[in-house]
Amino acid sequence: MGSNAELPEGTVQNILEQDSLKWIFVGGKGGVGKTTCSSILSILLARVRQSVLIISTDPAHNLSDAFQQKFTKSPSLVNGFSNLYAMEVDPTVEHDDSLGSDTTDGFVSELANSIPGIDEAMSFAEMLKLVQTMDYSVIVFDTAPTGHTLRLLQFPSTLEKGLAKIMTLKNRFGGLLSQMTRLFGVDDEFNEDAILGKLEGMKDVIEQVNKQFKDPDMTTFVCVCIPEFLSLYETERLVQELTKFEIDTHNIIINQVIYDEEVVESKLLKARMRMQQKYMNQFYMLYDDFHITKLPLLPQEVCGVEALKGFSHNFVSPYQPSIARGTVEELEQRVSTLREQLKGAEAELEIIKKGKQKV
């Protein structure tokens, strides 16, 4: 495979056509364009689905920047849409608000904090519990960089282990706790049954969500990357982990691809294109059964609803370079550009010569 043109072209059309999807995760290494891709994917889904919610679980929260609109931890309607909503949540924050402030919830929260990793998991579970009560036909997750994302995907097993530990503590010290609450006159809500009910309710959510996450008809993961070594490595790690968690993934978006469409050739761009080509060939060899979408590197950022909409066509139809090398039109355009550059350089030279003559 020697050039971009020879590589098979893919799109995200398969995701748009899969009406059964309820959860769509978009993730990858930091700085590869996950937020832009998840935002555009949600815009495309809004055209074919009744209602769409995009959630940012990245503590950096770039969703507001992408849409140029402030979002909070509650769903807000995106400007210019009637069925697209967005919210930003931080899975790493303390979950006192989500678990409540009464005595029972405080006790469960304190127990949870003593188990590594369960604080994020419980926050995520509470957020999913909230989302499930809302009637959105599909939910898109703009996730944090790979490491954080993998921890979130582990949350069902993390919570199950954590709750098992809490239940063990409850069975071991339940009688003692009851005596202490009676001794200190704490209200009746702080008892074994209340704690057990709280934990069982949480476990029900975990089991339901875990079942949905492992169902390829309901959940899929879109990997976003750039054609460089570290991103290729991170994508391979992500795909392996997703397979281990039994989470479906069959779409890869390769972002920031440099196409050979500059009128005046650049040694730097040529070198970068050769490097990118090497890694794209590896992507196609490793993931020959995936839908691989290539997106061009742009001279400007994609920010705001109109810019996102304008760039979205590259997700559903392969990008076509503006110049076809070796054609009469391309050569005429190159000659014309070179003449303009020569004229500009000669004018600059004359100005410099005149300046020296005055001195």
Annotated binding residues, written as ranges, equal: 29-36, 228, 255
Q: Is residue 11 left, alpha or beta, with left meaning phi > 0 and alpha meaning psi from -120 to 50?
A: beta
As a whole number of angstroms, the distance between CA 133 and CA 268 comes to 53
Contact status, residue 62 vs residue 33, Cβ threshold 8 Å: no
Residue in this structure with the two tokens 């609450």, named with its chain if needed: 181
As a whole number of angstroms, the distance between CA 167 and CA 205 comes to 17
Burial of 135 (0-12, 13-18, 19+ CB in 10 A): exposed
Q: Is residue 222 left, alpha or beta, with left meaning phi > 0 and alpha meaning psi from -120 to 50?
A: beta
In this structure, the number of other CB atoms found within 10 A of the CB of residue 49 comes to 17
Q: How far is C-alpha 86 from the chain's CA centre?
A: 13
As a whole number of angstroms, the distance between CA 185 and CA 25 comes to 47
Torsion of CA 104, 106, 107, 113, to 10 degrees: 150
What secondary structure letter does DSSP report for 5?
Answer: G
SS3 190: coil
As a whole number of angstroms, the distance between CA 80 and CA 69 comes to 11
Query: Across the beta sheet with 219-225, what order do the strands follow?
Result: 76-77, 84-88, 52-56, 138-142, 23-27, 219-225, 251-257, 291-296
Q: Annotated binding residues for ATP, as ranges?
A: 29-36, 228, 255
SS3 75: coil
Q: Which of 58, 105, 119, 248 is catalytic?
A: 58
Question: Is 58 among the residues known to form the active site?
Answer: yes
The residues annotated as belonging to the active site are: 58
